[in-house]
Amino acid sequence: MAAKPPAGDPVQDAPQVAAPQHAAAGLPAIGHTLKMAQQQMGVRRTAQTLLKVNQKDGFDCPGCAWPEEDKRHTAEFCENGAKAVAEEATLRRVTPDFFAAHPVADLATRSGYWLGQQGRITQPMYLAEGADRYDAVTWERAFEIMAEELKALDSPDEAVFYTSGRTSNEAAFLLQLFAREFGTNNLPDCSNMCHESSGSALTQTIGIGKGSVSLEDLHQADLIIVAGQNPGTNHPRMLTALEKAKAAGAKIISVNPLPEAGLERFKNPQTPQGMIKGAALTDLFLQIRLGGDQALFRLLNKLILEADGAVDEEFVRDHTHGYEEFAAAARDADWDETLAATGLERTKIEQALAMVLASKRTIVCWAMGLTQHKHAVPTIREVVNFLLLRGNIGRPGAGVCPVRGHSNVQGDRTMGIFERPAPAFLDALDKEFGITSPRHHGFDVVRSIQALRDGEAKVFFAMGGNFVGATPDTDVTEAAMRKARLTVHVSTKPNRSHAVTGARALILPTLGRTDKDVQAGGKQFVTVEDSMGMVHASRGNLTPASPHLLSEPAIVARLARAVLGPASTTPWEDFEKDYGTIRDRISRVVPGFEDFNARVARPGGFTLPHAPRDERRFNTPTGKANFTAAPVEYPKLPEGRLLLQTLRSHDQYNTTIYGLDDRYRGIKGGRRVVLVNPDDARELGLADGAYTDLVSEWKDGVERRAPGFRVVHYPTARGCAAAYYPETNVLVPLDATADTSNTPASKSVVVRLEQSPTA
Ligand SMILES: Nc1nc2c(c(=O)[nH]1)N[C@H]1C(S)=C(S)[C@@H](COP(=O)(O)OP(=O)(O)OC[C@H]3O[C@@H](n4cnc5c(=O)[nH]c(N)nc54)[C@H](O)[C@@H]3O)O[C@H]1N2
Ligand SMILES: Nc1nc2c(c(=O)[nH]1)N[C@H]1C(S)=C(S)[C@@H](COP(=O)(O)OP(=O)(O)OC[C@H]3O[C@@H](n4cnc5c(=O)[nH]c(N)nc54)[C@H](O)[C@@H]3O)O[C@H]1N2
Ligand SMILES: [Mo]
C-alpha cells in the first residue's frame, strides 16, 4: 500500500485552541500512532517495524534514550517512538529529481515541516560553487571533494565535525578517531545544547557525568522528584516506570512552570486497567518560575540541615568533601528570596519538605528545564547537594537521573565525541592506533558558530542532526554557515541545514536505525547506550530507502581513507567490512567495554560501571563526592517583560516536525503560539487569540524578533511564557549561554510582546 503524499507548502499555521488535557496516553494515543504510522509507511511496513522496536532482537527506538524494561511487551514503544520510527521508515522518497525541481533558494523558503515530510534522501547530492541547485554526485567524487577542502586548510582546527545523538557507538568512535588522526578536537555535538550542564555539574561533584540510577532503582524509590521535564511527550515510556514506582508506594513531586498532562495522570496503553482508569502520578505540583530551581533546592537544603537527624552524617563524614562551606551557605538561604525566585507559596515548600524527610530513598530526575539556563550548572550542583545530604547516592532506590534526549547521545560521548577529551582517553587512543592526538581543546557548538562567523573555521561536517535548525540565534548562525568553504551533512531526510550552505555543499544519505546494514563481512549490527548506562545491540530489518545509501561507519571509513591516504595505518577498510573489528578496538580504548563483542552478543546487553552507584567511589580530585556552595541566582525581569522558555510540542522531534498539533496542551493546527499566564496577559493588554511579535532583549542591544504568534491564555507560572523551538531559536542570543557548560540558555529569554502588524 502506498503512503499518502505530503501536505503542500506554505504550511498553513492557524492554531486552534482548546482546554489542555490532564492525562497522557491511553486509547486516543494508540489510534493517533497507527494513523501517523500508516500514512508514512503503509499497513505492512507499519506492522513489520513497530513489532521490532526495542525488542532484544530488534532495533533501538530512534526516539528517546529512556531504557527498556527487562521483561519486554510485544509493543515496547510509545506513541512518540512510533512517530520517530514512521518518519524514518517512511515510503516517501527524495530523489535527484526533487533537487532539480527545487533550487536551494526555493528550499530556503520552505518550512522545516515541509522539508522533513518529503521523505528519505536516495542519493548523494552536490551543490557546486556558484550553482543554484544540488545535483547527483557519485560517492567517489563526494569523498574527493571533502578531501580537497580538508587538505587545503591551513590547520586541521579549521574543520568542525558535529555529531547529533542518533549516531551509533561504532560510527561515533570512528568519527572521533578520524578527527584526531586528522589533527583536531573540534567535535561539538548536540549534547552541548542539551545535557552538557548535567555533565559539567556531575563530573565536578560525583566524578562521572552520567546518571546513577537504574530502572530498578526507580521502581524502589520512596520519592521521585521530576524537575524541568515533560516525560508525557518526550520520554513517554518513563511514565510506565513512574506508574510502577507509585504502585509500590512512591510519592512524586513535579517541579515545572507548566502543568504537564503526562505528569498529572497517565493511562498506560499496555495494561487494560491503565487504559481505562489511569493513574494519578503527581502527589505535589510545585509550579515554579523559570530558573527558580536553584533557590528551591537551596532552601530545602537549609530546612534539611535544620531538621532533627535529617542529615546522613555517616555518609557525609565518610564520602563527601566541602560540607562545612556548603552548610554555611545553605543556612543563609532566605525564605523571602526563595518565594520571590520560585513564585511558590510557603505551604507548598513545607509540604515538599515533609515528603523529602519521610523518604529514605529519593531520586531526582531532570531534563532541559534545568540544563538550559545561565545558572544551570550551579542549579544541578544544588540538586546533588540535596541528594548527598541524606546519603541518596550509591544505594538502591536513590540517586541522580538526568534523562537524556537523543537515543545514543550518552553513548556518543562515551565513545569520545567531546571537544574537551580527558587526557587518559587520548593516551589510550594514541597507544591503540599509534597516532598523536592533539591535546588542546576544540570547539563546542557555540564556539563553532563563532569560529565560522569569524572565518576561523572553513569546513563544516555534520554526522546527522540539523545544525542551523537546532542552534541559537538563527540569523547569526545562518550567516556564519554561509561563510564556510564546504558544508557536509550526513542525513536521512531533508532539513533546513541543506538550504543554508557554504560555497560548496554535500548531502550524504545514510542508513537509519530501522534499515538493514549489509557490508562485505555480512549483516552488521550497531550498539547504543541508554540514559542509564546500558549498552545493547540494535539491528535494523528494513530494505534501505535506496541501494545508494552508505552506513555511517562506511562514510567515516571512506572519508578517512580519502583524506589521510596511505599514511594512515588504521585499518579503515576492515572497519567498514566488519563492525566487530571496531568493537574490538573500543574494548581496548574505552573503560568498561572489556570483552565488548562477547558481552553485547547477550540479549539485553550489559551495564557500564558507575563508581558512585556501584561502590560509592568518587573519582574527583578530592576522592570524595563534593558539596558545592555557589551563590543563588535567578532571572530578574524588567517591567512589562516576560521570561520565555522555548520547548517541544507533542508533534515534533527536535527540529523534525511530525504535525501541527500539541494535543495535551490543547493546541491544534499551528505552532506559532505563545503561552502566557492569563493574569500577565491581562496586565499586558493581550487578549487570548491576539497576534503578537516576540522581541528578545539582550545586553548587546540587538533586537531579535519572531513575528506573528497567537497568544494563548495558559496556566503557566506568573511572569513566564512558553513557545516552541525551533521557530523561537531566532530569539536566543548566541552568547546567552550557561556558565561553565556554554549551553544556550534556551529556557530563559527575556522578551517583550508587541502587537503584531500582521494580525
Ligand atoms: N517526542 C519527542 N521526544 C523527545 C524529543 C522531542 O523533541 N520529541 N527530544 C529529545 C531530546 S534531544 C531531549 S533533550 C529531551 C527533552 O525533554 P524535555 O526536557 O522534557 O523537553 P522540553 O520540551 O524542552 O521541556 C522542558 C520541560 O521543562 C519545563 N521547564 C522549563 N524551564 C524550567 C525551569 O526553569 N524549571 C523547571 N523546574 N522546569 C522548567 C518545561 O515546562 C517543560 O515541561 O526529549 C527527547 N525526546
Ligand atoms: N531553542 C531551543 N533550541 C534547542 C533546544 C531547545 O530546547 N530550545 N534543544 C536542544 C537539544 S536538547 C538538542 S539535543 C538539539 C538537537 O539538535 P540536532 O540533533 O542537531 O537536531 P535534530 O532535529 O534532532 O536532527 C534532525 C535531523 O537528523 C537527521 N537524522 C535523523 N536520523 C538520522 C540518522 O540515523 N543518521 C543521520 N546521519 N542523520 C539522521 C535528519 O536528516 C533530521 O533532519 O537542539 C537543541 N536546540
Ligand atoms: Mo537533547
User: Could you write out the DSSP letters of every residue in 471-483?
Assistant: SS-HHHHHHHHHT
Ligand 2 site, residue 193, Cβ cutoff 6 A: yes
- Residues in the chain with pLDDT < 70? 1-11, 26-28, 72-76, 272-278, 757-759
Q: Buried b / exposed e across 502-540, counting CB within 10 Å, b at 16+?
A: bbbbbbbbbbbbbbebebeeeebbbbbbbbbbbbbbbbb
Note the pLDDT of residue 204.
98
Ligand 2 site, residue 490, Cβ cutoff 6 A: yes
CB 25 within 8 A of CB 277: no
Which has the closest alpha carbon to 683: 641, 734, 631? Answer: 641
User: In the block, which residue shows the cell 592526538?
Assistant: 437
Which one of the ligands is nearest to 257 CA?
1
For the CA atoms of the chain, what is the radius of gyration? 25
CB 386 within 8 A of CB 370: no
CA 74–ligand 3 middle distance (angstroms): 28
Q: What separation in angstroms does the CA of 343 have from each of 597, 634, 745?
A: 52, 11, 20
Closest ligand 2 atom number to CA of residue 115 = 44
Ligand 2 site, residue 229, Cβ cutoff 6 A: no
Give the predicted TM-score (pTM) of the model: 0.96
CA 372–ligand 1 middle distance (angstroms): 10
Note the pLDDT of residue 757.
67
Q: What separation in angstroms does the CA of 601 have from each of 410, 527, 537?
A: 20, 10, 7
Note the pLDDT of residue 273.
65
Ligand 2 site, residue 617, Cβ cutoff 6 A: no
Predicted confidence (pLDDT) per residue in 549-562, tens digit: 999 999 999 999 99
Ligand 1 site, residue 291, Cβ cutoff 6 A: yes
CB 197 within 8 A of CB 370: yes
Ligand 2 site, residue 491, Cβ cutoff 6 A: yes
CA 498–ligand 2 middle distance (angstroms): 14
Ligand 1 site, residue 648, Cβ cutoff 6 A: yes
CA 645–ligand 3 middle distance (angstroms): 15
Ligand 2 site, residue 186, Cβ cutoff 6 A: no
**Residue nearest atom 8 in ligand 1 by C-alpha distance:** 653
User: In the block, which residue shows the cell 506508574?
Assistant: 243
CA 194–ligand 1 middle distance (angstroms): 10
Ligand 1 site, residue 465, Cβ cutoff 6 A: no
Burial class (CB in 10 A: 0-12, 13-18, 19+), 57: exposed
CA 254–ligand 1 middle distance (angstroms): 13
CA 748–ligand 1 middle distance (angstroms): 13
Ligand 1 site, residue 652, Cβ cutoff 6 A: yes
Ligand 1 site, residue 645, Cβ cutoff 6 A: yes
Which one of the ligands is nearest to 725 CA?
2
Q: What are residue 647's phi and psi, to 5 degrees?
A: -135, -175
CA 322–ligand 2 middle distance (angstroms): 38
Retrieve residue 273's grid coordinates: 486497567
Strand partners, 710: 673, 691
Q: Which of 160, 492, 531 to mutate to test the pocket of ligand 2 (most atoms within 8 A of CB)?
A: 492
H helices, E strands: number in the chain? 31, 33
Which one of the ligands is nearest to 293 CA?
1
Which one of the ligands is nearest to 63 CA?
1
Ligand 2 site, residue 654, Cβ cutoff 6 A: yes
Retrieve residue 417's grid coordinates: 565525541
CA 56–ligand 3 middle distance (angstroms): 25
Predicted confidence (pLDDT) per residue in 122-170, tens digit: 999 999 999 999 999 999 999 999 999 999 999 999 999 999 999 999 9
Note the pLDDT of residue 5.
46
Ligand 1 site, residue 381, Cβ cutoff 6 A: no
CB 597 within 8 A of CB 580: yes
CA 653–ligand 3 middle distance (angstroms): 10
CA–centroid distance for 75 within its chain = 24
Which one of the ligands is nearest to 367 CA?
1
Ligand 2 site, residue 232, Cβ cutoff 6 A: no
- The helix or strand, by DSSP H or E, that contains position 36, with its residue range, turns out to be helix 27-50
CA 403–ligand 3 middle distance (angstroms): 9
Ligand 1 site, residue 293, Cβ cutoff 6 A: yes
Burial class (CB in 10 A: 0-12, 13-18, 19+), 35: exposed
Ligand 2 site, residue 320, Cβ cutoff 6 A: no
User: In the block, which residue shows the cell 538502591?
Assistant: 396
Which one of the ligands is nearest to 655 CA?
2
Ligand 3 (single-atom ion) residues, CB below 5 Å:
194, 405
Note the pLDDT of residue 652.
96
Retrieve residue 105's grid coordinates: 533558494
CA 405–ligand 3 middle distance (angstroms): 4
Retrieve residue 279's grid coordinates: 493513574
Retrieve residue 576's grid coordinates: 567498514
Strands 642-647 vs 749-755: parallel, antiparallel or unpaired: antiparallel
Closest ligand 2 atom number to CA of residue 495 = 44
Ligand 2 site, residue 725, Cβ cutoff 6 A: yes
Retrieve residue 722's grid coordinates: 512558553
CA 230–ligand 3 middle distance (angstroms): 13
